[in-house]
């Protein structure tokens, strides 16, 4: 089938990150023909740049405007149109769809949530005045919803410690043997300085990998950088491709992640993590985080549950770090459980089944 994915980048990288991961899954795992129309092509290209060129060559990454002429004529007419995160289709593309010889199915790909209410809304029709059938599709953890994007599944091959991406060679050469490695990719507003100072009081070495933009949050690029004890080493890395960032997550002992794509990748890496969830005005993020923790900690001991909730709500590391070994075992078990529950192929496979 031919799939058109529409991606409008509201802010950050998550919209492009999800659309790219979905496109590569549909193309490389399921042999589908995929085009992404995006209003910020450079960002999308940057994320996609690390992938095997053979995979990338099969997916068309196109500017938003390229869709205007495209829907009307065979063979370009799509079978499935995805509006990622409810973005509105360009009018000229929609007009083309209405004139096309076959009508596609439209999917409103929603935000990921662990909240139980999505079970009821997943797959529901969203009737449109233009008459093209459209449905809501909710990614999530439960069996009854749209699943998770798994591709590429971290395996020993592509995530081996020896496969250091060239862009990370220099940073990786400064890592210290025996130091615990923590990567940080969070939003402004996290109490990072206090958090690192608290880590500095512990009798342990920590190498902290700061992803693109985090050094600025810590004022490291101004004349007044924070000073930390020598057991803490800060290492800044540039913005890397999505594949390379997946690798970073797999090579750290602990990750601070955000949004929804890095959040899932941290879980698939099988490592403990803090989810710095995207803040919403109405505090809906607190409900979302609690719903996830309910699922994530269902099988955890009371001690681990309290430690993890403390960490996820930014309690200082000295308050929970003694539970790291237990958390590590839990993270591995959770990863296995996720892969088992998504054994049907996860989001891409469920989407194919839904439209097929």
- Under rule CB under 6 A, residue 4 binds ligand TRH: no
Residues near 171 by beta carbon (within 8 Å), at least 6 away in sequence:
209, 235, 236, 237
The minimum distance between CB 36 and ligand TRH, in angstroms, equals 14
**Residue numbers 37-66 binding ligand TRH by CB under 6 A:** 47
Distance (Å) of CA 138 to CA 30, 91, 109 = 20, 25, 6
- Under rule CB under 6 A, residue 109 binds ligand TRH: no
Q: Which is nearer to ligand TRH, 21 or 323 (CB)?
A: 21
Angle, helices 14-24/242-251, rounded to nearest 10 degrees: 100
The minimum distance between CB 148 and ligand TRH, in angstroms, equals 13
Catalytic positions, please?
A: 15, 260
- Under rule CB under 6 A, residue 139 binds ligand TRH: no
Among 212, 305, 335, 341, binds ligand TRH (CB under 6 A): 212
The minimum distance between CB 147 and ligand TRH, in angstroms, equals 16
The minimum distance between CB 100 and ligand TRH, in angstroms, equals 31
Q: Which long-range contacts (CB under 8 A, 24 or more apart) does 158-165 make?
A: 158/243, 158/247, 159/246, 159/247, 159/250, 159/251, 159/269, 161/251, 163/247, 165/50, 165/240, 165/241, 165/243, 165/244, 165/247
- Under rule CB under 6 A, residue 10 binds ligand TRH: yes
- Under rule CB under 6 A, residue 13 binds ligand TRH: yes
Residues near 122 by beta carbon (within 8 Å), at least 6 away in sequence:
136, 137, 138, 140, 144, 145, 146
Q: Which is nearer to ligand TRH, 42 or 75 (CB)?
A: 42
Q: Are 1 and 355 in contact (CB under 8 A)?
A: yes
Q: Could you give the string, one character per residue 262-281, with x where binding to ligand TRH holds by CB under 6 A and - elsewhere?
A: x---------------x---
Task: Return the range that interacts with ligand TRH (CB under 6 A); candidates 14-22, 125-133, 289-297, 342-350.
Answer: 14-22
Q: Which is nearer to ligand TRH, 39 or 261 (CB)?
A: 261
Q: Could you give the string, one character per residue 161-190, with x where binding to ligand TRH holds by CB under 6 A and - elsewhere?
A: ------------------------x-----
The minimum distance between CB 260 and ligand TRH, in angstroms, equals 4
Could you count the other beta carbons within 10 Å of the beta carbon of residue 262?
28
Q: Which is nearer to ligand TRH, 47 or 196 (CB)?
A: 47
Q: Which is nearer to ligand TRH, 80 or 210 (CB)?
A: 210
- Under rule CB under 6 A, residue 11 binds ligand TRH: yes
The minimum distance between CB 40 and ligand TRH, in angstroms, equals 12
- Under rule CB under 6 A, residue 239 binds ligand TRH: yes
Among 145, 240, 269, 311, binds ligand TRH (CB under 6 A): 240
In terms of phi and psi (left: phi > 0; alpha: psi -120 to 50; beta: otherwise), the region of 239 is beta
The minimum distance between CB 83 and ligand TRH, in angstroms, equals 15
- Under rule CB under 6 A, residue 260 binds ligand TRH: yes
- Under rule CB under 6 A, residue 90 binds ligand TRH: no
- Under rule CB under 6 A, residue 110 binds ligand TRH: no
Task: Return the range that interacts with ligand TRH (CB under 6 A); candidates 10-18, 87-95, 96-104, 341-349.
Answer: 10-18
Residues that bind ligand TRH (CB under 6 A): 10-15, 17, 47, 111, 185, 211-212, 239-242, 245, 258-262, 278
């Amino acid at each position: 089938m031919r799939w058109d994915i529409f991606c409008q980048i509201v802010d950050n990288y998550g919209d492009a990150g999800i659309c790219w991961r979905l496109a590569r899954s549909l193309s490389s795992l399921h042999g589908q023909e995929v085009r992404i129309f995006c209003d910020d092509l450079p960002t999308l290209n940057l994320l996609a740049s690390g992938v095997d060129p053979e995979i990338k060559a099969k997916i068309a990454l196109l500017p938003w405007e390229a869709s205007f002429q495209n829907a009307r004529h065979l063979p370009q007419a799509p079978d499935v149109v995805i509006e990622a995160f409810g973005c509105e289709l360009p009018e000229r593309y929609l007009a083309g769809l209405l004139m096309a010889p076959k009508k596609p199915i439209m999917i409103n790909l929603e935000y990921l949530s662990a909240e139980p209410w999505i079970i009821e809304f997943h797959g529901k029709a969203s009737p449109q005045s233009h008459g093209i059938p459209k449905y809501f599709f909710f990614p999530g953890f439960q069996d009854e919803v749209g699943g998770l994007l798994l591709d590429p599944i971290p395996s020993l091959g592509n995530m081996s410690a020896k496969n250091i991406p060239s862009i990370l060679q220099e940073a990786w050469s400064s890592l210290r043997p025996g130091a615990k490695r923590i990567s940080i990719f969070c939003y402004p507003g996290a109490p990072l300085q206090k958090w690192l100072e608290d880590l500095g009081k512990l009798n342990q070495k920590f190498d902290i990998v700061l992803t693109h933009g985090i050094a600025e949050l810590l004022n490291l690029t101004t004349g007044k950088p924070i000073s930390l004890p020598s057991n803490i080493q800060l290492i800044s890395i540039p913005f890397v491709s999505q594949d390379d960032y997946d690798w970073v997550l797999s090579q750290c002992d602990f990750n601070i992640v955000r949004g929804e794509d890095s959040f899932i990748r941290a879980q698939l890496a099988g490592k403990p993590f803090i989810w710095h969830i995207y803040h919403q005005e109405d505090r809906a993020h607190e409900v979302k985080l609690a719903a996830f923790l309910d699922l994530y900690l269902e099988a955890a001991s009371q001690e681990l549950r309290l430690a993890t909730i403390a960490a996820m709500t930014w309690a200082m590391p000295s308050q929970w770090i003694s539970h790291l070994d237990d958390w590590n075992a839990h993270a591995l078990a959770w990863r296995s459980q996720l892969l088992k529950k998504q054994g049907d192929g996860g989001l891409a496979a469920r989407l194919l089944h839904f439209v097929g």
